[in-house]
Amino acid sequence: MNRINDLFKRKKNDILNVYVTAGYPKLESTVSVMKALQDSGVDMIELGMPYSDPLADGPVIQASSTQALANGMTIATLFDQLRDFRKQVYVPVILMGYMNPVLQYGFEKFCQHAADAPIDGLILPDLPEYEFETEYGPIMQRYGLDFIFLVTPETSEERIRKLDSLSTGFLYAVSSSSTTGKDKDMNAVENYLQRLKSMQLKNPVLVGFGIKDKPTFQQACQHANGAIIGTAFIKALENTADVEGAAKKFITDIKS
């Protein structure tokens, strides 16, 4: 079963995808936070693999990565944590990270272990299109993993169509060419999202970067199939002893 395709068949709009850093705020928090998100009504989870040099991430997510690494999180530890997670978490889960630690782990071994978990897809922002087509994409396909490319307001129409053709699952529309967590003028983003909508792309579109609360989520959903929230959720987990309660409150505030 392809959980991502199944989700978009059942639900066309208002898809809520939430990013959480594996091993944050505590090393053993990973699955409990994911379950709290699911139980609060999240449609999809983007599980970040902490890395010391995350190019696309702003200071809040960088700090969560630093903390998770200090807690002892590694890719091997993550796969150990995910061994039985499907007994509790049934929503689609995507691993988001960077090529360097994945290559150090071994790319095919990584895909095999992700599929065994089972994880549904991957986001690797620094994997170039050419390398995906010629080397890494066929390995992901062999293990049944979706791969999601990112596009920005500056991406040409030709390149958007190309990345849409290569992506499976959905297309990640970055709201602007900056790092995560920056405040965005969502009105300025509307033209870009309307342009994507008018292109009648193969994949559903989820908007990320700058989505932080109910108004920005609703605004993003007017022009796309849904949105991705990361920085604001990581902030909600800071300095709390009740991680599950904080997760539930955050999602309830967005969905209520």
Which positions are annotated as active-site residues? 46, 57
Contact call for residues 211 and 223 (beta carbons, < 8 A): no
Bridge partners (DSSP) listed for residue 20:
47
User: Contact at 8 Å (CB) between 61 and 238?
Assistant: no
Q: Terminus-to-terminus CA distance in the chain, angstroms?
A: 30
Using DSSP's 3-state secondary structure scheme, residue 64 falls into helix
Q: How far apart are CA 170 and CA 236, in angstroms?
A: 26
When computed from its CA atoms, the radius of gyration of the chain, rounded to whole angstroms, is: 17
Alpha-carbon distance of 73 to 30, in angstroms, equals 10
Residues 122, 47: Cα–Cα separation, whole Å = 9
Burial tier of 87 (Cβ tally within 10 Å: 0-12, 13-18, 19+): exposed
